[in-house]
Chain A
Amino acid sequence: MTYLRLAGLSVGALCAASAAFAQGYPERQITMVVPFAAGGPTDTVARLVAEKMGTDLGTQIIIENLGGAGGTLGASQVAEAEADGYTVLLHHIGMATSETLYRNLAYDTLNAFEYVGLVTEVPMTVLARNDFEPADMAAFIEYVKANGDSLTLANAGIGAASHLCGMLLMQALEVPLVTVPYKGTGPAMTDLLGGQVDIMCDQTTNTTKQIQGATVKAYAVTTPERLELFPDLPTVAEAGIPAAEVSIWHGIYTPKGTPAEVNEALSASLQKALADPGIVKAFADLGTTPSPAEDATPAALKEKLETEIARWKPVIEAAGVYAD
Chain B
Amino acid sequence: MDFLSNLALGFATATSFANLGFCLIGVILGTLVGVLPGIGATATIAMLLPITFQLEPVSSLIMLAGIYYGAQYGGSTTAILINMPGESSSAVTAIDGYQLARRGKAGTALAVAALGSFFAGSVSTFLVAIFAPPLTVVALKFGAAEYFSLMVLGLVSSVALAHGSILKALAMVVLGLLLGLVGTDIYSGTPRFIMGIREYADGLNFVAVAVGVFGIAEILRNLESEQTREVMKTNVRNLWPSREDFKRMVAPVLRGTALGSALGILPGGGAILASFASYTVEKRISKNPQEFGRGAIEGVAGPESANNAGAQTSFIPLLTLGIPANPVMALMVGAMIIQGIVPGPNVATEQPALFWGIIASMWIGNLMLIVLNLPLIGLWVKLLTVPYYVLFPIIMAFCSIGVYSVRSNVYDLYAVAAFGLLGYVMLKLRCEPAPLLLGFVLGPLLEENLRRAMILSRGDPATFATRPISAGLLLLSLVVLIVVFLPQVRKKRDEVFVEDN
Q: Name A's B-contacting residues (CB within 8 A).
A: 37-40, 43-44, 47-48, 51, 63-69, 72-73, 76, 101, 106, 152, 157-159, 178-183, 186-187, 189-191, 193-197, 205, 208-210, 212-213, 215, 281-282, 285-286, 321-324
Residues of B within 8 A of A44 (CB): 334, 337-338
Within 8 A of A (CB), among B304-337: 317, 321-325, 327, 330-335, 337
Bound-complex Cα distance A73 to B268 (A): 26
Asked whether, in the complex, the Cβ of B344 is within 8 Å of the Cβ of A47, the reply is no
Bound-complex Cα distance A5 to B320 (A): 66
Which of these binds chain A: B181-189, B216-224, B256-264? Answer: B181-189
Asked whether, in the complex, the Cβ of B186 is within 8 Å of the Cβ of A157, the reply is yes
Supply 13 A–B pairs (Cβ within 8 Å), ascending by A: A39-B330, A39-B332, A63-B50, A65-B408, A73-B198, A187-B268, A190-B140, A190-B321, A193-B323, A208-B344, A215-B345, A321-B188, A321-B189
Asked whether, in the complex, the Cβ of B334 is within 8 Å of the Cβ of A209, the reply is no
Asked whether, in the complex, the Cβ of B143 is within 8 Å of the Cβ of A191, the reply is yes
Given A194-B141, A213-B346: 5 more A-B contacts, CB < 8 Å: A39-B327, A40-B330, A44-B337, A65-B407, A194-B142
Chain B, Cβ-Cβ closest to A282: B340
Bound-complex Cα distance A183 to B49 (A): 24
Q: Decide if B144 is an interface residue (CB 8 Å cutoff).
A: yes
Of B189, B325, B345, the contact of A210 (CB 8 Å cutoff): B345
Bound-complex Cα distance A227 to B49 (A): 30
Residues of A within 8 A of B331 (CB): 38-39
Q: Decide if B448 is an interface residue (CB 8 Å cutoff).
A: yes
Which of these binds chain A: B24-32, B110-118, B431-439, B451-459? Answer: B451-459
Asked whether, in the complex, the Cβ of A322 is within 8 Å of the Cβ of B189, the reply is yes
Chain B, Cβ-Cβ closest to A73: B198
Chain A, Cβ-Cβ closest to B445: A183
Residues of B within 8 A of A73 (CB): 198-199, 201
Residues of B within 8 A of A64 (CB): 408
Residues of A within 8 A of B188 (CB): 321
Bound-complex Cα distance A196 to B449 (A): 12
Of B140, B142, B198, B330, the contact of A37 (CB 8 Å cutoff): B330
Chain A proximity mask over B141-164: 1 for CB below 8 Å, otherwise 0: 111100000000000000000000
Within 8 A of A (CB), among B344-383: 344-347
Count of chain B residues near A, Cβ 8 A: 55
Known: A73-B198, A73-B201, A282-B338. A51 touches B322 (CB 8 A): no
Q: Decide if B409 is an interface residue (CB 8 Å cutoff).
A: yes
Known: A68-B407, A69-B198, A324-B191. A193 touches B140 (CB 8 A): yes
Within 8 A of A (CB), among B429-480: 448, 452, 455-456, 458
Residues of A within 8 A of B10 (CB): none
Bound-complex Cα distance A215 to B323 (A): 12
Chain A nearest CB, measured from B386 CB (Å):
34
Residues of A within 8 A of B344 (CB): 208-210, 212-213
| Most chain B beta-carbon neighbours within 10 Å: one of A178, A187, A322 | A187
Residues of A within 8 A of B143 (CB): 191, 194, 196
Q: Decide if B56 is an interface residue (CB 8 Å cutoff).
A: no
Chain A nearest CB, measured from B345 CB (Å):
4
Of B141, B201, B334, the contact of A68 (CB 8 Å cutoff): B201
Asked whether, in the complex, the Cβ of A38 is within 8 Å of the Cβ of B46, the reply is yes
Residues of A within 8 A of B191 (CB): 324
| Most chain A beta-carbon neighbours within 10 Å: one of B45, B184, B199 | B184
Chain B, Cβ-Cβ closest to A152: B456
Bound-complex Cα distance A161 to B369 (A): 41
Known: A37-B330, A190-B268, A213-B344. A286 touches B198 (CB 8 A): no
Of A43, A68, A324, the contact of B189 (CB 8 Å cutoff): A324
